[in-house]
Amino acid sequence: MSAKEDDELIQIVYLEAFNYQDEAVEAAESVLKIRMNESIKEKINLIKTAHFKPLEENSNEELIALAISLFQNNNKSEKEIRHIFKMGNISNTRWQLIQPEFTQNLTNINRENSSKKKLIGFLLFFGGIGATILSYDNVAVSGGTYYIFYGAIIFGLIYFFELV
């Protein structure tokens, strides 16, 4: 399992248990217990403390962890997160202290997502080219119909050049 999957399990158990059936929450909890390590314990503690006390009582590290969680798991924009923090009595001065580290984390997350999209695009494009060549190769001697996998080729290019 990856860290992202661990984060999703933590979110199910500690943040959104009310959205899931009891069996799903219990299953997520048991997987977390099996995979428990220092990193997971630290994330759980940060989320617990960040979500069960007023925002202004959280440390800067807890606020950054909460902001990243809101961005990744709840699809909140930086503007929406700032609004949430403002409603939680986080001053502009304090936001300006945590914002650079939060922005750096967002940049890293976006870079990671971009790399994944490029890899998917690369695989789709060359998979489509390879499948087209194989299809043509099978009928080149004996004649017949071959397939051009233009969907995979086009979507591979779109993903690779991040046009979506």
**CA nearest neighbour of 48 among 64, 74, 66, 30:** 66
In a domain, 154, yes or no: no
Q: Do 44 and 10 contact (CB within 8 A), yes or no? A: yes
Query: pTM of this prediction?
Result: 0.50
In a domain, 10, yes or no: yes
Amino acid at 60: N
In the predicted model, what is the mean pLDDT of the chain? 83
Q: Is the dihedral of CA 113, 51, 45, 37 positive or negative?
A: negative
In a domain, 162, yes or no: no
DSSP H helices, 36-161, are 38-51, 60-74, 78-87, 92-140, 150-160
**CA nearest neighbour of 151 among 133, 137, 131:** 131
In a domain, 146, yes or no: no
Instruction: Over range 23-49, report the average pLDDT.
Output: 78
**CA nearest neighbour of 69 among 44, 52, 34, 39:** 44
Residue 37 belongs to what domain range?
Answer: 3-114
In a domain, 40, yes or no: yes
In a domain, 110, yes or no: yes
Q: Do 31 and 9 contact (CB within 8 A), yes or no? A: yes
- Give the tens place of pLDDT for each residue, 73-128: 777 888 888 887 887 788 888 889 889 998 898 888 888 888 889 999 999 999 99
Q: Do 115 and 103 contact (CB within 8 A), yes or no? A: no
Range with the poorest average pLDDT among 31-40, 47-56, 148-157: 47-56
pLDDT band at residue 145 using 50, 70 and 90 as cut-offs: very high
End-to-end CA gap in the chain:
28
In a domain, 41, yes or no: yes
- CB count in 10 Å sphere of residue 43: 18
Domains in the chain, number: 1
In a domain, 137, yes or no: no
